[in-house]
């Protein structure tokens, strides 16, 4: 039998079975005053193995529009239908956001999810305000809006229906195949130049992807999502994000070529980001899955991050700095030229924004 006590580093629970999870620990968030660790109490009483399952709770936020002030990003507002992400990508820079809920950036982030079922209604009120100024809304900037629980909640589907009715522009970033369910809406919105989609492809190696992103669709499946979106007329950008030195960085050109062949029109990349709790989680993953390359990966990353695991400085946090960062930028520029991919997609149209007509409204002649 085991009991929990307050200590600094939590080893894995020996009776907790993890199936397709990125993290292997559940260290307390950075705001928590205590740490929990499993210790043997000396009793040789066998315990049943427990499978860690996903739990979903719901919340009703007062607002869903998040202002974004970062100069590194091409948008000034975002919406997150969900907190946490079941895809379980070990490198996810959004993991530390779970600390604001009193939860861990480790296993809690990928197993204790929060859905916002009323988000479409709340967003409807926000964009209907007279003071609202229309600009593209970004979805998927923190957690994936098309992660598996979207099949149950359909929050993203209802968001699209709302924004389509209002002729409101948006951008989506996802790994999820559920985006194909909404091709009817996305295709119609694309014909009005209202939407663009970014598909994240970290690696083409299926085995590496399964370990890095255990519950995300396989790389080949994501390429088929790009094909489906392109056939529907939706502008697609492939995102090599994150670009992990030594581990996935050699694939940069191959990923861009494969995405171009699938129908992508543009491409971008983001260097691996390890803020707050993500750094120890990723180092632990390297020690478990890539022990022979772990030291090399971290040494190269620190070289591109000013000697640290992560540097949040605006202007360099997305691409790094130094010799290898410059070489990567040159390789990317050359790969764009060779593949014919653009560095950016044209911005969505925001000039048709307005409330949908209601029964009895006077129609315009023009």
Task: Give this prediction's pTM.
Answer: 0.90
Dist. CA 185–CA 72, nearest whole Å: 29
99 and 31 in contact (C-beta within 8 Å)? yes
Residue 272 or 362, more confident? 272
Residue-wise pLDDT tens digits, 210-269: 999 999 999 999 999 999 999 999 999 999 999 999 999 999 999 999 999 999 999 999
Whole-Å CA distances, 184 to 145, 154, 233, 234: 17, 15, 11, 10
pLDDT over threshold 70, residue 359: no
Residue-wise pLDDT tens digits, 2-54: 333 333 335 456 667 788 898 988 887 787 777 666 666 566 655 556 788 99
Average pLDDT, the chain: 91
CATH number, domain of 260, equals 3.80.30.30
26 and 52 in contact (C-beta within 8 Å)? no
- Helix H or strand E segment including 108: helix 107-111
44 is a domain residue: no
Residues written for the chain: 366
* CA-closest candidate to residue 12, choices 31, 2, 26: 26
272 is a domain residue: yes
3 is a domain residue: no
10 is a domain residue: no
Where do runs of H (alpha helix) occur along the chain? 107-111, 119-127, 150-153, 155-165, 183-191, 206-212, 219-231, 252-262, 278-289, 294-304, 323-339
- Domain enclosing residue 163, as ranges: 54-339
- Rounded average pLDDT over 283-306: 97
148 is a domain residue: yes
218 is a domain residue: yes
Distance of alpha carbon 96 from the chain centroid: 13
Q: What percent of the chain has pLDDT over 90?
A: 79
98 and 105 in contact (C-beta within 8 Å)? yes
pLDDT over threshold 80, residue 100: yes
Name the E strands within 193-307. 195-200, 236-243, 266-271
Dist. CA 3–CA 355, nearest whole Å: 57
Q: What is the pLDDT of residue 4?
A: 36
158 is a domain residue: yes
294 is a domain residue: yes
Residue-wise pLDDT tens digits, 314-328: 889 999 999 999 999
The domain tally of the chain equals 1
Dist. CA 165–CA 162, nearest whole Å: 5
- Token representation of residue 158: 């209802």
């Amino acid at each position: 039998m085991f009991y929990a006590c307050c200590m600094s580093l939590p080893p894995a629970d020996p009776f907790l079975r993890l199936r397709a999870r990125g993290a292997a620990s559940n260290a307390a968030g950075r705001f928590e005053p205590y740490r929990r660790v499993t210790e043997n109490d000396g009793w040789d009483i066998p315990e049943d193995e427990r499978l860690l399952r996903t739990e979903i709770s719901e919340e009703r936020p007062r607002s869903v529009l998040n202002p974004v002030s970062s100069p590194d990003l091409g948008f000034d507002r975002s919406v997150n239908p969900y907190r946490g992400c079941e895809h379980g990508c070990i490198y996810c820079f959004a993991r530390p956001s779970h600390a604001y809920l009193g939860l861990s950036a480790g296993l809690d982030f990928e197993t204790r999810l929060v859905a916002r079922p009323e988000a479409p209604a709340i967003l409807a009120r926000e964009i209907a305000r007279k003071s609202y100024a229309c600009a593209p809304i970004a979805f998927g900037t923190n957690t994936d809006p098309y992660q598996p629980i979207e099949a149950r909640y359909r929050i993203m589907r209802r968001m699209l229906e709302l924004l389509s009715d209002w002729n409101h522009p948006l951008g989506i970033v996802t790994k999820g195949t559920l985006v194909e369910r909404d091709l009817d809406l996305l295709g119609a919105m694309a014909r009005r130049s209202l939407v663009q989609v970014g598909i994240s492809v970290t690696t083409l190696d299926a085995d590496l992807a399964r370990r890095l992103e255990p519950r995300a669709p396989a790389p080949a499946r994501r390429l088929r999502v790009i094909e489906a979106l392109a056939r529907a007329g939706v502008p697609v950008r492939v995102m090599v994000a994150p670009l992990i030195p030594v581990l996935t960085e050699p694939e940069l050109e191959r990923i861009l070529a494969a995405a171009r062949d699938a129908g992508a029109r543009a491409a971008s990349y983001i260097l691996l980001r390890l803020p707050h709790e993500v750094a120890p989680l990723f180092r632990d993953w390297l020690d478990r899955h890539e022990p022979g390359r772990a030291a090399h990966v971290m040494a190269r990353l620190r070289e591109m991050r000013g000697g640290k695991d992560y540097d949040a400085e605006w202007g360099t946090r997305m691409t790094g700095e130094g010799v290898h960062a410059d070489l990567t930028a040159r390789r990317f520029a050359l790969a764009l030229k060779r593949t014919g991919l653009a560095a950016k997609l044209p911005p969505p149209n925001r000039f048709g924004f307005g409330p949908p007509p209601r029964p009895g409204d006077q129609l315009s002649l023009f």
